[in-house]
Structure 1
Amino acid sequence: MTHSVGAEMLIDAELLRYARQILLEGWDIDAQLRLKFARVVIIGAGGLGCPASETLVRAGLGQVHLIDDDVIEASNLQRQTLFLPDDIGKPKALTAAQMLQQINPLIEACGTVARLSEDNAYQLLDMQSGKPDLLLDCTDNFSTRDIINRISVRYQIPLLSASAIAMQGQLALFEPQLNTGCYHCVFGAPPNLDSSSDVTLDERTCANSGVLASTTAIMGSLQANAALQYLGLTKNPLTGKLLLWDGSRMQQRLIGYRQDKQCPICAV
């Protein structure tokens, strides 16, 4: 059974499941419908991808596609919340998608075991069916983020990029179609030497630097929060802002950025 007067596309099961969300001031059935018909591609099904995708799916995101070429290891279970001990050795993307489908049968979740590149992006993002509404960068190294940013700019797809290392995280939502700047404008080109050490940012990953379980959970949730506002309310809560989260001090702050008019990626 469907409902009329703006709710004709929400079935009873959806109205019941998302009732508390629809009751929110500023979030109505129209917002829920926009979320239902949104398609998101998440690159990375690990510490960030798990909490971000789970929150979005529970909230009613219509289609989610996870891309990851890695398999589940015992060390992942500390923070990658969609996986269980019996999943060790299985592909992350497929296992996460299967779990998401079980969490919410009303949505569509799929996974692809692959490494996204500029060469295969058109195929993996299913561009022949139309552009995704949003890309979520949930990877853990600088060079991959740079590639995802190039893809975002090339195909004019909004990019919600998060990172989490140790007890710190960063978050930004870039809209290349508005010419307001991109990941490269903020962070430059890899490799970028960290002035505080002799380790390049490209080498600083969870595998070699460590990460507290709560860091990925919090950053993944913040990423989902920004995505929900963008998809459901057509609002970018981070326009021109980079969010910096410091778990050791329990502090969060925003710093501004603008498009680099000399940026070789988005200003050409």
Structure 2
Amino acid sequence: MPSALSQAELLRYSRHLIIPGVGPDGQMKLKNASVLLIGTGGLGSPAALYLAAAGVGRLGLVDPDVVDASNLQRQILHGESWIGKPKLESAADRLREINPHITVEQHPVRFTPANARSIAESYDIILDGCDNFPTRFLTNDTAFFLKKPLVYGAIHRFEGQVSVFAPHLGGPCYRCLIPTSPAPGAVPSCNEAGVLGVLPGIIGSLQAMEAIKLILGLGEPPLGKLVIYDALSTSFRSIKLRRDTTCRLCGDHPSIFSTENAETTAPATCQVDDPNMQSITTSELRKRLNGDFDAVLIDVREPHEHAVANIPQAELIPLATLPDQIDRLPKDREIIVHCKSGGRSAKAVDFLIANGFENVTNVTGGMDAWLAES
């Protein structure tokens, strides 16, 4: 473990060294600290950049994905020249340019119950930059069992959230806020709902700040507090969170004793796997559309999604408006429903069947699968 700062580092961190509470000793704490970032996307990008610039000595990055053009609106670690290449290679290249005095460790895999503890155990802090509920539950459970602080962040359109979950420090865990996974498709992802590109920059920077505070022992981390930022009103508000004594993980009588459980092993997408639901693949749908198609095809996505890509034969009826338009749909013809990836369309199928429609079919994989075959 390094015991001194080099002359180059003294120059680089000179603005830190004059801050009361940081100084050379604090900078050494940063140099000897380690943070594991789950994801190098919208939240992970700004968090990683500022942690690297601050001199956090070892950064671990977990991300199996490649850079896509749609990432560049918000994932500022990556650039045009890295499209189609691994995100971790792009991230490591950028972070080493920001600060050559740090170590960047790459974990080009999906964070799963099988590998979570072995990946995370050597890091001081876990920073959650993921975009799905199973991984959020997994980062929480892993941090709990390893007794490491979890710096949580989440974004949606114009709003973001930040907290620190650390029952070993006296606060609640993520499950005290959300005990179980929402129903598939109930909460739209950024891909479905959209997000203003600058918002993850704000929330990810706040996550980096909380990680640095934890390392330095400065200030008060938001233990037992969910900080909510509303970009449209330029306002912050806080909600008190208390440890739930009935929490299945950190409560008085826990029932979860492993990182492998119902929430962490659930599918990361909103695809609904119901063996009793009548379904059709996108390739089968394509064949039928090219033949004698006599069904009614409905797209239950939002207008902004439809404007980007659509199936010309489909009628746009957003899921929220379906109850108002149900009376004009024919009950004597097959109705085929699609959305982005299958979650919302499955809810639409259930709704139509509950209202007397007998021949209703869900499109497996939705528009994502349709475009992948194009």
> Does the pair score TM above 0.5?
yes
Distance, in Å, in 2 between the alignment partners of 1:57 and 1:14 is 13
Q: Secondary structure at the match of 1:151?
A: helix
Please report how far the alpha carbon of residue 178 of structure 1 lies from its aligned counterpart in structure 2 after TM superposition.
Answer: 2.7
Q: Alignment length, in residue pairs?
A: 251
Pair 1:44 & 2:30 matched: no
Which consecutive residues of structure 1, in runs of 5 or more, have no partner in the other structure?
Answer: 1-6, 194-198
Pair 1:209 & 2:193 matched: yes
Distance, in Å, in 2 between the alignment partners of 1:8 and 1:69 is 34
* Residue of structure 2 aligned with 1:95, choices 82, 90, 96: 90
Distance, in Å, in 1 between the alignment partners of 2:54 and 2:157 is 28
Q: Is the Cα–Cα contact under 8 Å of residues 153 and 203 in structure 2 kept in the other structure?
A: yes
Residue 262 of structure 2 corresponds to none
Q: Secondary structure at the match of 1:213?
A: coil
Q: Is the Cα–Cα contact under 8 Å of residues 243 and 255 in structure 1 kept in the other structure?
A: yes
Paired residue type of 1:238? P
Pair 1:189 & 2:180 matched: yes
* Residue of structure 2 aligned with 1:107, choices 84, 90, 102: 102
Please report how far the alpha carbon of residue 137 of structure 1 lies from its aligned counterpart in structure 2 after TM superposition.
Answer: 0.2
Change in Cα spacing, 1:250 to 1:234, as seen in structure 2 (3 Å) is: closer
* Residue of structure 1 aligned with 2:23, choices 21, 28, 36: 28
The TM-score normalised by the length of structure 2 is: 0.64
Q: Secondary structure at the match of 1:147?
A: helix
Residue 200 of structure 1 corresponds to 186
Written as runs of structure 1 = structure 2, the 5 A alignment for 1:231-250 is 231-233=215-217, 235-250=219-234
What does the per-residue CA deviation read over 1:99-156, in whole Å, with 9 as the maximum and x for residues that have no partner? 101210011112211111121113322x3xxx31100000112221011111111211
Written as runs of structure 1 = structure 2, the 5 A alignment for 1:48-197 is 48-125=43-120, 127=121, 131-191=122-182
Residue 3 of structure 1 corresponds to none
The TM-score normalised by the length of structure 1 is: 0.89
Paired residue type of 1:164? I
Q: Is the Cα–Cα contact under 8 Å of residues 27 and 233 in structure 1 kept in the other structure?
A: no
Q: Secondary structure at the match of 2:171?
A: coil
Distance, in Å, in 1 between the alignment partners of 2:210 and 2:228 is 14
Please report how far the alpha carbon of residue 213 of structure 1 lies from its aligned counterpart in structure 2 after TM superposition.
Answer: 1.1
* Residue of structure 1 aligned with 2:213, choices 229, 235, 249: 229
What does the per-residue CA deviation read over 1:152-199, in whole Å, with 9 as the maximum and x for residues that have no partner? 112111100101121110011111323421000012210259xxxxx5
Residue 371 of structure 2 corresponds to none
Written as runs of structure 1 = structure 2, the 5 A alignment for 1:253-264 is 253-264=237-248
- Structure number with greater CO (CA < 8 Å, separation at least 6) is 1
What does the per-residue CA deviation read over 1:61-120, in whole Å, with 9 as the maximum and x for residues that have no partner? 000010011111001011111111110011112320221012100111122111111211
Q: Is the Cα–Cα contact under 8 Å of residues 39 and 61 in structure 1 kept in the other structure?
A: yes
